[in-house]
Amino acid sequence: MSQILITADELADLLSADSPVRVLDVRWRLDRPDGRPEFLDDHIPGAVYVDLDSELAEHGAPADGRHPLPSNALLQTAARRWGVNDGDVVVVYDDLKSLSAARAWWLLTDAGIADVRILDGSLRAWTNAGHALEQGDAVPAPGSVTLSRGHLPQVDIDQAAALAGRGALIDVRAAERYRGDFEPIDPRAGHVPGALNRFTAQNVDADGRFLDPETLRREFAELGIEHGEPVGVYCGSGVTASHAFVALTLAGYSPTLYAGSWSQWSNHPDRPVAIGSEPEGALASIQKEKS
């Protein structure tokens, strides 16, 4: 787990050495989920486009959340389409601070691939280092990788509720969504009662590179996260929570992922909701209004 990030120059060296490396382009944004047009315009040579919505997530009932984790069968089929074989080094990247690439890192690491790296600084780091891009589609020979899930810790909705009370649960959405000032997507605004807030974009610098481990440790400690206590992360739909999972791991913590995240929690009317800037928020008044 100590080898999570890779620099642009290190990736270029791997590619020039003809090492068994598979590069995955995971461009995705909430307002523009299909990153294929941008991929076709330019991408790292040899990279394969990954469709986050269809290959890195299942789709079921609203009560499951917007991006439930995919089944092992779905993920393995996708990984073989990408040309991944057992023993490959897999490097994932996007064009937005690794927010979506981290989802691919989490899933493939959880599925047992031993060496998955995130291109630190995203696609911009590659171009700023002077490395070439290519255009058009990429269709590799099918891979034969065998995946097995369950190598990384995660919690379900009940365990997330318990974690907020006995350890630390971090809501990694922007502060205004955590407070419940507005909610543009999900049915209720606010946060899981007891959850702390740290926007995951705070874990990277202006160039989109992850902060160094010492800085991350200090900032998580200032939030109140103690080493040795259980700590979980969630976001809106389960995508960017993986980014915070990476940051916590870099900082030396052993995090767990609540993949259902706010999109699942807010679709369960029986679950309490807190609003405001404090972890418990205005929970009592909300409960009184509903009674």
Domain ranges for the chain, please list them: 5-128, 157-290
In angstroms, the CA 158 to CA 265 distance is 10
Place of tokens 């980014």: 243
What mean pLDDT, rounded, does the chain reach?
Answer: 93
Residue 140 confidence (pLDDT): 93
Taking the mean position of all CA atoms in its chain, how far away is CA 124? 19
pLDDT tens-digit map of 195-245: 999 999 999 999 999 999 999 999 999 999 988 889 999 999 999 999 999
The H or E element spanning position 23 is: strand 21-25
Confidence bin at 283 (pLDDT 50/70/90): low
Question: Which DSSP letter does residue 266 get?
Answer: T
Residues marked active site are found at: 235
Residue 24 confidence (pLDDT): 98
pLDDT tens-digit map of 51-106: 999 999 998 899 999 999 999 999 999 999 999 999 999 999 999 999 999 999 99
In angstroms, the CA 217 to CA 116 distance is 23
**What is the residue type of 91?**
V
Question: Which DSSP letter does residue 90 get?
Answer: E
Query: Given this chain, do its domains 5-128 and 157-290 carry the same CATH topology?
Result: yes
* CATH 3.20.20.370 is right for the domain spanning 5-128: no
Homologous superfamily (CATH) of 157-290 is Rhodanese-like domain (3.40.250.10)
- Please state, in angstroms and as integers, the Cα–Cα distance from residue 30 to each residue in 11, 118, 137, following that order: 27, 20, 23
Strand partners, 197: 171
Apex 171 CA angle, 160 and 275, nearest 5: 95
Residue 278 confidence (pLDDT): 92
